[in-house]
Amino acid sequence: MTSTQVAREPLIRRVRRKAERMFGPAGIFFKGFLKHPAMVGAILPSSRRTIEHVLSVVNWDECRLFVEYGPGVGTFCRPVLEKLRRDGMLIVIDTNPDFIAYLQKTIGDSRFVAVHGSAAEVEEIIRANGFEQADYVLSGLPFSTLPEGVGPAIMAATHRVLRPGGAFLVYQYTARARELMGKYFPRIDKGLELANVPPCVISWGWKD
């Protein structure tokens, strides 16, 4: 890129490119936040403590399909793949093509599938990959800032796609999503992880 092209490039685009070069995955995550702040909902990826806390309820021996909404740069993907059984599958869904392209380029695991699409389409997406139901669904989507109607559509589709006994694992930065979650998941276990920036509110909704 020439100096003239750099000068003409919009400031926010230059910030994204510089962040990506300087900070690797964290830079790509920040770039995604700048591009779609209402969909990403955070500037920094989740802490290791948060990851362990959120995943603590998973019975890995019985998990054949794990689904994640909004995987970002794969903060949860790698820990999930480390624990997932050999014949299991992790399907991640994101509306941001930059995140999907990055994950497809950096995660070389035959159990991993990254899909550019909406979480509301989860039923069609898992069927296309040979499954009828999921054991666990994980989400860091900011439900309180999603476009009108999108949050309820995702919650309803998630409840339908989970097997009986499965769980919806949700981590947020406020507890506001629990009200919406409670309309679909009567049984919700609650947690809080302070070792995160910002502190993380965790909800585990069970499909009894």
Cβ pair 138, 54 in contact under 8 A: yes
Whole-angstrom distance, CA of residue 203 vs CA of residue 143 = 13
Whole-angstrom distance, CA of residue 163 vs CA of residue 194 = 31
Between strands 200-206 and 162-172, the pairing is: antiparallel
Residue 23 has pLDDT above 50, yes or no: no
Q: How confident is the model at residue 38 (pLDDT cuts 50, 70, 90)?
A: very low
Cβ pair 81, 109 in contact under 8 A: yes
CATH of 40-206, one of 3.40.50.720, 3.30.420.270, 3.40.50.150, 3.60.9.10: 3.40.50.150
Determine the straight-line distance between the first and last CA of the chain, rounded to whole angstroms.
Answer: 56
pTM of the model: 0.81
Task: Report the SS3 class of residue 177.
Answer: helix
CA atoms within 13 A on the CB side of 22: 8
pLDDT of residue 22: 42
Of 8-12, 81-85, 144-148, the range with the lowest mean pLDDT is 8-12
Whole-angstrom distance, CA of residue 37 vs CA of residue 16 = 13
Cβ pair 107, 77 in contact under 8 A: yes
Whole-angstrom distance, CA of residue 118 vs CA of residue 165 = 24
Residue 156 has pLDDT above 50, yes or no: yes
pLDDT in tens, 63-116: 999 999 999 889 999 999 999 999 999 999 999 999 999 999 999 999 999 999
In the chain, where the domains are located: 3-35, 40-206
Whole-angstrom distance, CA of residue 108 vs CA of residue 90 = 12
What single-letter DSSP state applies at residue 15? H
